[in-house]
Chain A
Amino acid sequence: MASKPRVKLPKSVNKGQVVQIKTLIPHKMETGRRKNKKGGKIPRFIINKVEATFNGKPVITADFHPAVSANPYFSFYARVEESGTFKFVWTDDKGGKVTTSKKVAVK
């Protein structure tokens, strides 16, 4: 149902401050190793990539494999030198993308 990701980061920071960014997105992260009631394999379906950029420039990219838990939680840090927008993109095995953005202001 809801594939709405959650992102937590401060709204305003000092110039050059390094902030922690926390993200969480609901997703089953189906490993492809489970069997359904009839004995057939449930196909793999996971989020395999998370990309974070700031004002268009890459900050960090994560490649996920099925060993990442369901409802993937991913936190990292970013140095903020100027006001702008963080953009987050989650990509799944079928190429589907979920995107969200958050603005940050430098005091």
Chain B
Amino acid sequence: MSNSIRKSENTLERRDVLKLLGLGTVAAATGSIVSSDALATPDSAAKLISKLSGTSSYKSGKITLKMPEIAENGATVPLTVRVDSPMSAGNYVKSIHLAAEKNPNPEVASFHLTPASGKAEISTRMRLGKTQNVIAVAVMSDGSVHRVSRLVKVTIGGCGG
């Protein structure tokens, strides 16, 4: 190996190596962030939830959001949201909304239920670009809104490709 101190094209700075190691990270996986666009903020997520639910005053206790503590991969993070409700004609969950605080956009999904739903429990899979809170709200037929949030850690894998 050459003893020359001169930098040839073959020389890599450590930051370049780390950047190379970083390829195939969550960003590529989610197929989302490639440019440096602004991300959602807790503020924009809160505004979205307020707009979707029609209020900023939330109750807690009836709605739960089950998500992993650490996501295996940000591209596919399973979640289950459940609301304690008899789902009868006079007392049911009208809608459930999900928002993400630090994704490129805070919108995730909205679900519109009916008493025929029988049980207010929904499962799906979402994309998370980085560690962040996911917020779920349930709008009840009596107008009350329940809210819950979950912190999901999204880490960068080392085994891209």
- CA separation between A34 and B76, bound complex, in Å? 17
Which of B56-64, B111-119, B138-146 is the contact stretch? B111-119
- CA separation between A78 and B121, bound complex, in Å? 10
Number of chain B residues close to chain A: CB under 8 A: 38
Pair B119/A18 contact, Cβ less than 8 Å: yes
Q: Is B55 an interface residue (CB 8 A)?
A: no
Cβ contacts under 8 Å, A19 to chain B: 118
- CA separation between A77 and B115, bound complex, in Å? 10
Pair B76/A69 contact, Cβ less than 8 Å: yes
CB distance from A15 to the nearest CB of B (A): 13
Which single member of A30, A67, A79 contacts B108 (CB below 8 Å)?
A67
Q: Is B38 an interface residue (CB 8 A)?
A: no
Pair A62/B35 contact, Cβ less than 8 Å: no
- CA separation between A28 and B128, bound complex, in Å? 16
Which residues 108-161 in B have Cβ within 8 Å of A in the complex?
Answer: 108-128
Q: Is B77 an interface residue (CB 8 A)?
A: yes
Cβ contacts under 8 Å, B110 to chain A: 62-63
Looking at chain A's contact residues, is the secondary structure mostly helix, strand, loop, or mixed? strand
CB distance from A50 to the nearest CB of B (A): 9
- CA separation between A73 and B103, bound complex, in Å? 20
Q: Is A59 an interface residue (CB 8 A)?
A: yes
B residues lining the A interface (CB < 8 Å): 30-35, 37, 75-78, 87, 100, 103-105, 107-128
A residues lining the B interface (CB < 8 Å): 18-19, 30-31, 33-35, 54, 57-70, 72-79
Known contacts A62-B112, A72-B125; 12 further A-B pairs (Cβ under 8 A): A18-B118, A18-B119, A31-B104, A31-B127, A57-B116, A59-B116, A62-B110, A62-B124, A64-B109, A66-B105, A73-B78, A79-B119
A-B CB contact pairs (8 Å), 22 listed? A31-B30, A34-B31, A34-B32, A35-B34, A59-B114, A59-B116, A60-B113, A64-B109, A67-B100, A67-B107, A68-B126, A69-B77, A70-B75, A70-B76, A72-B124, A75-B122, A76-B111, A76-B121, A77-B117, A77-B118, A78-B116, A79-B117
